[in-house]
Structure 1
Amino acid sequence: MSALERARSVVGVRFRRQGRGEGGFDCVGLVGWAHGVDVPADYPGRSGDATRVAAVLAAAGFRRVDRAMAGDVLLLLSGPGQLHLGLSTGGGILHADAVARRVVERRDVPWPILSIWRK
Protein backbone atom coordinates (compact mmCIF):
# COMPACT_ATOMS: atom_id res chain seq x y z
CA MET A 1 0.00 0.00 0.00
CA SER A 2 1.37 3.42 -0.92
CA ALA A 3 1.69 6.25 1.60
CA LEU A 4 -1.23 8.06 -0.06
CA GLU A 5 -3.43 4.96 0.03
CA ARG A 6 -2.57 4.42 3.67
CA ALA A 7 -3.41 8.07 4.48
CA ARG A 8 -6.68 7.86 2.56
CA SER A 9 -7.67 4.89 4.73
CA VAL A 10 -7.86 7.23 7.75
CA VAL A 11 -9.75 10.16 6.20
CA GLY A 12 -12.30 11.19 8.81
CA VAL A 13 -10.21 10.06 11.80
CA ARG A 14 -10.13 12.76 14.45
CA PHE A 15 -7.39 15.34 14.85
CA ARG A 16 -5.35 14.79 18.00
CA ARG A 17 -2.31 16.89 18.92
CA GLN A 18 0.80 14.68 18.71
CA GLY A 19 -1.45 11.82 17.54
CA ARG A 20 0.33 9.02 15.74
CA GLY A 21 -2.26 6.33 15.16
CA GLU A 22 -5.77 5.53 14.17
CA GLY A 23 -7.01 7.02 17.48
CA GLY A 24 -6.08 10.42 16.10
CA PHE A 25 -3.44 12.28 14.13
CA ASP A 26 -1.81 15.66 13.87
CA CYS A 27 -0.03 16.66 10.65
CA VAL A 28 3.35 15.26 11.70
CA GLY A 29 1.88 12.01 13.00
CA LEU A 30 -0.17 11.46 9.83
CA VAL A 31 2.82 11.95 7.52
CA GLY A 32 5.01 9.66 9.62
CA TRP A 33 2.33 6.98 9.93
CA ALA A 34 1.50 7.05 6.21
CA HIS A 35 5.16 6.66 5.26
CA GLY A 36 5.94 4.19 8.04
CA VAL A 37 8.59 6.32 9.75
CA ASP A 38 8.99 7.29 13.39
CA VAL A 39 8.49 10.94 14.19
CA PRO A 40 10.14 12.81 17.04
CA ALA A 41 8.16 12.99 20.26
CA ASP A 42 9.49 16.39 21.25
CA TYR A 43 8.29 18.60 18.41
CA PRO A 44 6.43 21.78 19.36
CA GLY A 45 2.76 22.22 18.52
CA ARG A 46 3.58 25.43 16.67
CA SER A 47 6.76 25.97 14.73
CA GLY A 48 8.07 28.33 12.11
CA ASP A 49 11.50 26.67 11.89
CA ALA A 50 11.55 25.29 8.33
CA THR A 51 15.26 24.43 8.65
CA ARG A 52 14.56 22.15 11.60
CA VAL A 53 11.65 20.46 9.84
CA ALA A 54 13.80 19.94 6.71
CA ALA A 55 16.55 18.37 8.83
CA VAL A 56 14.07 15.97 10.46
CA LEU A 57 12.64 14.98 7.06
CA ALA A 58 16.12 14.41 5.63
CA ALA A 59 17.14 12.34 8.68
CA ALA A 60 14.04 10.18 8.14
CA GLY A 61 15.17 9.40 4.59
CA PHE A 62 13.19 11.95 2.61
CA ARG A 63 14.85 13.93 -0.17
CA ARG A 64 13.84 17.33 -1.45
CA VAL A 65 12.31 17.43 -4.94
CA ASP A 66 11.06 20.19 -7.23
CA ARG A 67 7.68 18.83 -8.32
CA ALA A 68 5.07 17.07 -6.24
CA MET A 69 3.79 13.60 -7.02
CA ALA A 70 1.07 11.73 -5.17
CA GLY A 71 2.29 10.73 -1.72
CA ASP A 72 5.03 13.35 -1.46
CA VAL A 73 5.26 15.37 1.74
CA LEU A 74 4.41 19.05 1.42
CA LEU A 75 5.94 21.51 3.87
CA LEU A 76 3.48 24.39 3.97
CA LEU A 77 3.23 27.85 5.47
CA SER A 78 -0.28 27.71 6.95
CA GLY A 79 -0.07 31.04 8.76
CA PRO A 80 2.46 33.63 9.91
CA GLY A 81 5.29 31.63 11.44
CA GLN A 82 3.22 28.43 11.35
CA LEU A 83 4.33 25.37 9.39
CA HIS A 84 2.12 22.44 8.40
CA LEU A 85 2.72 19.07 6.73
CA GLY A 86 0.46 17.25 4.31
CA LEU A 87 0.58 14.61 1.62
CA SER A 88 0.24 15.57 -2.02
CA THR A 89 -2.61 13.87 -3.85
CA GLY A 90 -1.21 14.94 -7.20
CA GLY A 91 -3.26 18.16 -7.29
CA GLY A 92 -4.58 18.60 -3.79
CA ILE A 93 -3.66 17.69 -0.25
CA LEU A 94 -4.50 15.11 2.38
CA HIS A 95 -3.75 16.33 5.91
CA ALA A 96 -4.76 16.37 9.56
CA ASP A 97 -6.84 19.53 9.78
CA ALA A 98 -6.95 21.15 13.24
CA VAL A 99 -9.88 23.40 12.24
CA ALA A 100 -12.00 20.55 10.83
CA ARG A 101 -10.79 18.38 13.75
CA ARG A 102 -10.16 15.39 11.46
CA VAL A 103 -8.07 14.02 8.60
CA VAL A 104 -9.36 15.50 5.34
CA GLU A 105 -8.60 15.47 1.62
CA ARG A 106 -8.89 18.69 -0.37
CA ARG A 107 -8.80 19.20 -4.13
CA ASP A 108 -6.50 22.21 -3.74
CA VAL A 109 -3.53 23.21 -1.60
CA PRO A 110 -4.70 26.28 0.32
CA TRP A 111 -1.29 27.42 1.62
CA PRO A 112 2.07 28.28 0.07
CA ILE A 113 4.31 25.25 -0.46
CA LEU A 114 7.76 25.85 1.04
CA SER A 115 9.27 22.53 -0.05
CA ILE A 116 8.39 19.05 -1.32
CA TRP A 117 9.88 15.83 0.06
CA ARG A 118 9.87 12.29 -1.35
CA LYS A 119 10.65 8.98 0.35
Structure 2
Amino acid sequence: MSPIERARGAIGARFLLHGRCVAHGLDCVGLAGLAYGIAVPRGYALRGGRVAQVIAAAEAAGLVRVDDARVGDLLLLNAGAGQLHLAIASETGVIHADAALRRVVERPGVPPWPELARWRLKED
Protein backbone atom coordinates (compact mmCIF):
# COMPACT_ATOMS: atom_id res chain seq x y z
CA MET A 1 0.00 0.00 0.00
CA SER A 2 1.31 3.49 -0.84
CA PRO A 3 1.65 6.39 1.61
CA ILE A 4 -1.33 8.17 0.03
CA GLU A 5 -3.49 5.04 0.39
CA ARG A 6 -2.51 4.64 4.04
CA ALA A 7 -3.15 8.34 4.69
CA ARG A 8 -6.58 8.13 3.04
CA GLY A 9 -7.39 5.15 5.24
CA ALA A 10 -6.95 7.42 8.26
CA ILE A 11 -9.41 10.11 7.10
CA GLY A 12 -11.99 10.57 9.81
CA ALA A 13 -9.74 9.42 12.66
CA ARG A 14 -9.94 11.80 15.60
CA PHE A 15 -7.12 14.23 16.38
CA LEU A 16 -5.04 13.23 19.39
CA LEU A 17 -1.74 14.90 20.29
CA HIS A 18 0.94 12.18 20.18
CA GLY A 19 -1.68 9.80 18.74
CA ARG A 20 -0.22 6.90 16.78
CA CYS A 21 -3.16 4.78 15.58
CA VAL A 22 -6.40 5.31 13.71
CA ALA A 23 -8.50 3.65 16.43
CA HIS A 24 -7.39 5.99 19.22
CA GLY A 25 -6.40 9.08 17.24
CA LEU A 26 -3.56 10.69 15.31
CA ASP A 27 -1.69 13.95 15.18
CA CYS A 28 0.26 15.06 12.11
CA VAL A 29 3.39 13.20 13.20
CA GLY A 30 1.41 10.02 13.85
CA LEU A 31 -0.26 10.35 10.45
CA ALA A 32 3.15 10.69 8.78
CA GLY A 33 4.42 7.62 10.63
CA LEU A 34 1.36 5.63 9.60
CA ALA A 35 1.48 6.76 5.95
CA TYR A 36 5.19 6.07 5.51
CA GLY A 37 5.56 3.09 7.85
CA ILE A 38 8.30 4.83 9.84
CA ALA A 39 9.02 5.26 13.53
CA VAL A 40 8.26 8.79 14.70
CA PRO A 41 9.15 10.69 17.88
CA ARG A 42 6.92 11.28 20.90
CA GLY A 43 6.95 13.79 23.68
CA TYR A 44 7.12 16.99 21.63
CA ALA A 45 5.08 20.13 22.27
CA LEU A 46 2.30 21.27 19.96
CA ARG A 47 4.33 24.45 19.33
CA GLY A 48 8.03 25.16 19.27
CA GLY A 49 9.38 22.61 16.80
CA ARG A 50 12.66 23.24 15.04
CA VAL A 51 12.87 22.87 11.28
CA ALA A 52 16.39 21.41 11.32
CA GLN A 53 15.33 18.78 13.85
CA VAL A 54 12.33 17.69 11.74
CA ILE A 55 14.45 17.55 8.58
CA ALA A 56 17.08 15.42 10.34
CA ALA A 57 14.42 13.05 11.74
CA ALA A 58 12.74 12.59 8.33
CA GLU A 59 16.02 11.82 6.63
CA ALA A 60 17.12 9.50 9.46
CA ALA A 61 13.85 7.59 8.90
CA GLY A 62 14.88 6.97 5.30
CA LEU A 63 12.86 9.65 3.53
CA VAL A 64 14.53 11.52 0.67
CA ARG A 65 14.21 15.28 0.37
CA VAL A 66 12.92 16.37 -3.05
CA ASP A 67 12.09 19.58 -4.90
CA ASP A 68 9.54 18.34 -7.44
CA ALA A 69 5.94 17.73 -6.36
CA ARG A 70 4.24 14.32 -6.44
CA VAL A 71 1.14 12.83 -4.90
CA GLY A 72 2.11 11.09 -1.67
CA ASP A 73 4.93 13.45 -0.74
CA LEU A 74 5.35 14.33 2.92
CA LEU A 75 5.24 18.09 3.43
CA LEU A 76 6.67 20.13 6.28
CA LEU A 77 4.60 23.30 6.62
CA ASN A 78 4.96 26.45 8.71
CA ALA A 79 1.49 26.59 10.28
CA GLY A 80 2.14 29.66 12.41
CA ALA A 81 4.40 31.20 15.00
CA GLY A 82 6.49 28.31 16.27
CA GLN A 83 4.14 25.70 14.86
CA LEU A 84 5.34 23.16 12.32
CA HIS A 85 2.88 20.82 10.62
CA LEU A 86 3.16 17.68 8.49
CA ALA A 87 0.78 16.75 5.69
CA ILE A 88 0.65 14.27 2.82
CA ALA A 89 0.16 15.69 -0.69
CA SER A 90 -2.91 14.37 -2.51
CA GLU A 91 -4.18 14.84 -6.05
CA THR A 92 -6.36 17.76 -4.98
CA GLY A 93 -4.72 19.13 -1.82
CA VAL A 94 -3.36 17.57 1.37
CA ILE A 95 -4.32 14.97 3.93
CA HIS A 96 -3.51 16.10 7.46
CA ALA A 97 -4.50 15.82 11.11
CA ASP A 98 -6.45 19.04 11.66
CA ALA A 99 -6.37 20.11 15.33
CA ALA A 100 -9.14 22.69 14.79
CA LEU A 101 -11.50 20.19 13.14
CA ARG A 102 -10.34 17.46 15.56
CA ARG A 103 -10.04 14.94 12.69
CA VAL A 104 -7.80 13.70 9.92
CA VAL A 105 -9.14 15.35 6.79
CA GLU A 106 -8.36 15.84 3.12
CA ARG A 107 -8.16 19.57 2.52
CA PRO A 108 -8.65 20.67 -1.10
CA GLY A 109 -6.44 23.24 -2.77
CA VAL A 110 -3.02 24.60 -1.96
CA PRO A 111 -2.33 24.51 1.79
CA PRO A 112 -2.58 27.96 3.41
CA TRP A 113 0.81 27.49 5.09
CA PRO A 114 4.26 27.99 3.56
CA GLU A 115 6.03 24.78 2.57
CA LEU A 116 9.43 24.35 4.24
CA ALA A 117 10.46 20.90 2.96
CA ARG A 118 9.18 17.89 1.01
CA TRP A 119 10.15 14.19 1.13
CA ARG A 120 9.21 10.85 -0.34
CA LEU A 121 10.21 7.25 0.06
CA LYS A 122 13.50 6.30 -1.55
CA GLU A 123 12.88 4.80 -4.97
CA ASP A 124 14.56 1.49 -5.67
Structure 2-normalised TM-score? 0.91
Q: Deviations over 1:45-98 (max 9, x none)?
A: 223410000000010001110022111100000012210000011441100000
Provide the C-alpha distance between the structure 1 equivalents of 2:78 and 2:100, rounded to a whole number of angstroms.
15
Please state if 1:20 is matched with 2:8.
no
Structure 2 equivalent of residue 110 of structure 1: 112
Structure 2 CA distance for partners of 1:100 and 1:39, relative to 1, 3 Å: same
Aligned positions of 1:65-104 closer than 5 A: 65-104=66-105
Structure 1 equivalent of residue 52 of structure 2: 51
Counterpart residue identity of residue 105, structure 1? E
Structure 1 equivalent of residue 5 of structure 2: 5
Name stretches of at least 5 consecutive residues in structure 2 with no aligned partner. none
Provide the C-alpha distance between the structure 1 equivalents of 2:92 and 2:63, rounded to a whole number of angstroms.
20
Q: Give the superposed CA RMSD.
A: 1.1
Counterpart residue identity of residue 69, structure 2? A
The count of aligned residue pairs is 119
- Name which of structure 1's ranges 69-78 and 88-97 shifts more when overlaid on structure 2: 88-97
Structure 2 equivalent of residue 37 of structure 1: 38
Name stretches of at least 5 consecutive residues in structure 1 with no aligned partner. none
Contact 2:18 2:43 in 1 (8 A): no
Which 4+ runs in 1 deviate beyond 4 A?
Answer: none
Provide the C-alpha distance between the structure 2 equivalents of 1:86 and 1:47, rounded to a whole number of angstroms.
18
Structure 1-normalised TM-score? 0.94
Contact 1:68 1:90 in 2 (8 A): no
